[in-house]
Amino acid sequence: MPELPEVEVTRRGIATPLRGAIVHGVRVGKPLRWPLGLPEGEFAGQMVGEVGRRGKYLWLPLVLPGAAHGGLLMHLGMSGSLAWQTSAPAAGAHDHFDLVTNRGTLRLNDPRRFGAVVWSPGLDRAPAARLLQRLGAEPFDADLTPQRFHEALHQRRAPIKAVLLSGEVMVGAGNIYACEALFRAGIHPALRADRLSRPRAQRLLEALRQTLAQALAMGGSTLRDFSDVHGMSGAYQTSAAVYGREGQACVQCGGQIRRVIQAQRSTFFCPHCQKR
């Protein structure tokens, strides 16, 4: 489900209600990807700070004045979404984590349970640091210049689609937005990353930023599960040019959109508009 736009939509939805909230406790349901890493009783009295995001991870800082501090690193996996509820109903079959505060409850719903909630003493400490260590640049970081993007791609021989999905050069683009950005940039997904010319790398960086920004403005994509913290669906998926459109007409040339498998994931592209 959630790629960077969906995670950022979620972050914006929870940051305000959570800022300064006092934790009463947590409730855990079925196991997620990794264990929580701190006994459930340890959270009471901690105050939530400013909710941050790194790639597709959310970071909820927790501070207990004069005592232990750390935070919760959360990932929504493929099917996760967070909801903010001022009065939380009984947990459903797929509600696997609650953060109960004096203001309301933050609830993770995740049918497939590929998501995670992990306590860490800090973003730069284990286990958070280990999970984040291989992440590439944030897409809207000013330090990610076209030149640096090109240089990083130049060191990768894998297909450009696989490099984007790995997140090791730039985080945030998952399967939908990687496909859409490559289409927007006119680049064939099987092209080796180190074969992109400088102008094409620049064009791809611009396409990635435009794609992610547009998706964010539209509230993200909702294929099945995703909704924002108020239960609203995103709208971007209806404006996808290639994703999920195998066999349909290309919006640009009218040719057939094709689907191939790369790195165990479906890649959608237009063979006519996207050049090697």
Residue closer to DNA (CB basis): 6 or 98: 6
* CB of residue 146 to DNA, shortest distance in Å: 21
Q: Does 242 bind DNA (CB under 7 A)?
A: no
Residue closer to DNA (CB basis): 101 or 222: 222
Stretch that binds DNA, among 44-52, 70-78, 144-152, 201-209 (CB under 7 A): 70-78
Q: Mask: binding to DNA, 12-51, rule CB under 7 A, as x and -?
A: ------------------xx-x------------------
Residue closer to DNA (CB basis): 56 or 107: 56
Q: Is residue 42 among the annotated active site residues? A: no
Q: Does 198 bind DNA (CB under 7 A)?
A: no
Residues that contact DNA, how many (by CB under 7 A): 44
Structure token digits, residue 112: 């497939």
Q: Does 77 bind DNA (CB under 7 A)?
A: yes
Q: Which of 103, 148, 192, 265 is catalytic?
A: 265
Residues that bind DNA (CB under 7 A): 1-3, 6, 30-31, 33, 55-56, 75, 77-79, 93-94, 111-114, 131, 134, 156-159, 162, 165, 167, 174-176, 192, 220-226, 234, 263-266
Catalytic machinery residues:
2-3, 56, 265
